[in-house]
Structure 1
Amino acid sequence: MGTVAALRRYPVKSMLGEDLASVAVTRAGLSGDRTYAALDEAGAVGSAKHPRKWGRLLGCRSRWAGGAVEVELPDGEVHTVGDPDLDARLSKLLGRHVFLSASPPEHGTLERAVPDYEGGVPDALRATASVDGTGERITVGRAAPGTFFDYGRVHLVTTSTLAGLRSAHPAGDFDPRRFRPNLVVDTGAAPAFTEDTWQGRRLRAGEALFRVLVPTPRCVVPTLGHDELKADPGIMRAIAREHRIPVFDLGRLACLGVYLEVLEPGTVRLGDSFTLPDGP
C-alpha cells in the first residue's frame, strides 16, 4: 500500500514539534506526544485553533531532550519545561498569565475560531458561537477526556490527498506540516482521499497496528504560518470546496486525513511498510 514518509510528534500542544526517525507507539499514541499544554487561569487549554488568543504558540518549538521537554522560544532562547522562567516568558508572549502543565484540567475548555466558509464547524455549533474578548467568534468544547488531544490519539495524512489538492488548487501550499500529522504515508499513485475507504479498517505501520476511526475535520490552523511556512488563507477554502464529507452526526465537514486508535503498540520507523491487513 505504501511507506511511512514522515513521523512527527508535538510534545507541547499547538507548538511546533519534532521530526523522528523512529518512535514507540503506545496505546496512548506516539510516546511523548501532546504530553504538555499551556493553560490559563480560566481553565482554557492552549490551542492555535483560536489564533488571536493562542496563535503565538506556533512560534515556539517543543522537543524531547534527555528525558525532558525543551521549548525553543521565537527569539531562540531554550528553556526546559518546569523552569519558572519559561512560564513567565510564555505569559509575556501571550499577554496574560499562562503555565505549562502535564495534567489536563477536569473541566478544561478548547476554544475554536469560527471560519466563514461552509464546513469549518458543524452548523449546530456555528449557531451557538459567541464573540469573546479578542473580538473573535468562537465555539467552546473539550479535549478528549484525560488528554490534550482533540479526539484521536494518532493523526495520519497521505501524500495522494496532498497531491490531489495541489492539482485542484495550484496556488495553495499543501506542505504536510500545516496539518500537524503524526504519520505521513506515501501512497504512491493512489487517488486523492483514498483514506476515505479505510473507515473502520485496520492498518499496520511497522510493528504497530491501528484502526481508522474517523476523517479529521480541519480548523483554521493549516492556514496559519508554521515555522518558515507562510500564512495561506486559501488552503482551507480549497479543502472545503473539494472534500466536505459526513462526520458522525455533525454534518458535512471539511476534512483532510484520518484519526487512528492504537490496537497493538510497537515501533514505527521511517520507510516502514504501510499495509491494510484485511486486504484491499
Structure 2
Amino acid sequence: MSIAAINRYPVKSMQGEALTRTVLDERGVVGDRAYALLDVETGVVASAKVPKRWPTLLQFAAAFTADPVPGEPAPAVTVTFPDGSTRRSDDPDIDQALSAVLGRDVKLITTPPEGVGFEEIWPEIDDLAPQHVIDATTARREDTGEAISRFDVAGFAPPGRFYDLAALHVITESTLARLRELAPDSRFEVARYRPNIVLAETGDGFVENDWPGREMTLGDGVRVSYTFQTMRCIMTTLAQQDLPEDRDVLRTVAKHNRVDITKREVAGRWACAGVYADVTAGGEVAVGDPHA
C-alpha cells in the first residue's frame, strides 16, 4: 500500500489543492479546512451539503499563498470565483465580493465561533442513515420536505478547524474501483469524496471497513489511528468540475456498503465509503510513501 494522492481544502466546501507532500499534526493536514464562510443571518457555517442554499459554493476554489506552518495562524488564501476571477482572503472587500456571488451575507473566518455548526440535507435515498439520528438532529426542512440536520463543527476532532467530524479522511482506490464495478454508468471520482489521503490499496472492495480500531503508519513514522468509517452524504452527488449531478453515486453506496458504526452520537447503520482517522504521531508525508 502507498499514498496515491494528498489533498488539502483551505476553505470548507470550496475546491482545494492537490499536494505532493504535506505535514500532518494532531489536527490532520496542516491548513486543511482552516477557513470557512459564516452565514451572517443564521450564524451557521456555509456548507455545500445544503445545495439549494449554497448552489455555487462548490464552484469556488481556494489555495494558500504560502505554506501553512504547524502551530501558526493560517496564511492568506487566494479564492478563485466561478467566473475565474480571483481575490485574496486579506482583501478588504472579500466578504462583500463573496456575498454578492453567493446571494447571502457571509464572512470569511478562520476561528470557529463557540458552538458553531453546519447543516446537512438528507436526500430521499433509502438506507442512507439511521432514522433516529436524522430525527434527533433535524433543525428545519427544505421546501421539498427533506430534513435538514444541524451538527456541531468538528464533532470528533480537535477544535480550531472547520471539519465536519474528524481530523483526517482517508479513502482507498480499491473502494472507488468497487463502486465503479457496481454502477458503471456513474462516475466515482476522488473529487466527489474530498479525502485528505488516497491510498493505492491493492485489496478487494471496501477494505477500509475493517480498519477502525487499528493504528497504522504513513511514510516514515507518521502514525494514524483509524476511528470509524466515513458516512456519505449528498455532497458526493453534486455537480463539480466536469462531474455531473448524480444521486445514483450515493444510492450505490447505500445499497452495497452499509456499516454499523458505534461512535457515540452517530451510532447506527450508515452508507459508508472511506474511513476517518486521528493523527497520533505527526510528521511529513509524500505521494508514494508507504502505508502499513
TM-score (norm 2): 0.89
Counterpart CA distance in 1 for 2:98 and 2:145 is 22
Q: Measured at CA, do residues 134 and 252 of structure 1 come closer, stay the same or move farther in structure 2, by a change above 3 Å? A: closer
The percentage of counterpart residues that share the same residue type is: 38
> Structure 1: which 5+ residue stretches go unaligned?
276-280
1:139 and 2:153 aligned: no
Residues 164-190 of structure 1, C-alpha deviations (whole Å, 9 max, x = no match): 1111111110011110000000012x1
Q: Out of 255, 263, 268, which is 2:280 matched to?
A: 263
The 5 A counterparts of 1:221-232 are: 221-232=235-246
Per the alignment, residue 69 of structure 2 pairs with: none
Alignment of 1:63-102 (within 5 A): 63-66=63-66, 67-102=75-110
2:219 corresponds to 1:206: yes
Instruction: Figure out how many residues of one structure are paired with residues of the other and give that number.
Output: 273
Counterpart in the other structure of 1:59: 59
Secondary structure class of the residue paired with 1:52: coil
Q: Distance in 2 between matches of 1:135 and 1:246?
A: 27
Counterpart-to-counterpart distance in 1, 2:120 and 2:57: 15
Alignment CA distance shift 1:113-1:37 (3 Å): same
Shift of 1:137: 3.0
Aligned position for 2:229: 215
Structure 2 contact 129–269 (Cα < 8 Å) conserved = no
Q: CA deviation at 1:133?
A: 7.2
Match of 1:191 among 204, 213, 216: 204
Q: 1:150 to 1:229 in 2, by over 3 A?
A: same
Residue aligned with 2:101, SS = helix
Structure 2 unmatched ranges of 5 or more: 67-74
Using the TM superposition, give the Cα deviation of residue 228 of structure 1 relative to its aligned residue in structure 2, in angstroms: 2.1
Whole-angstrom CA distance in 1 between matches of 2:80 and 2:160: 26
Q: CA deviation at 1:120?
A: 2.7
Mark the CA change 1:87 to 1:135 in structure 2 (over 3 Å): closer, same or farther.
Answer: farther
CA distance in 2, matches of 1:88, 1:109: 22
2:38 is the alignment partner of 1:28 = no
Residue 125 of structure 2 is matched in structure 1 by 117
* CA deviation vs aligned residue, 1:251-280 (integer Å, no higher than 9, x gap): 2110010001001101110111111xxxxx
The answer to whether the 8 Å contact 2:36/2:162 transfers is yes
Q: Is the 8 A contact 2:123 2:146 kept in 1?
A: no
Contact 2:76 2:90 survives alignment (8 Å): no
Q: State how far apart, in whole Å, the 1-side matches of 2:17 and 2:161 are.
A: 20
- Please give the secondary structure, in 1, of the residue aligned with 2:33: coil
TM norm structure 1: 0.93
Partner letter of residue 32 of structure 2? Answer: D
Does structure 2 conserve the Cα–Cα contact (< 8 Å) formed by 1:198 and 1:212? yes
The aligned residue for residue 172 of structure 1 is 186
Superposed displacement of residue 103, structure 1? 0.8
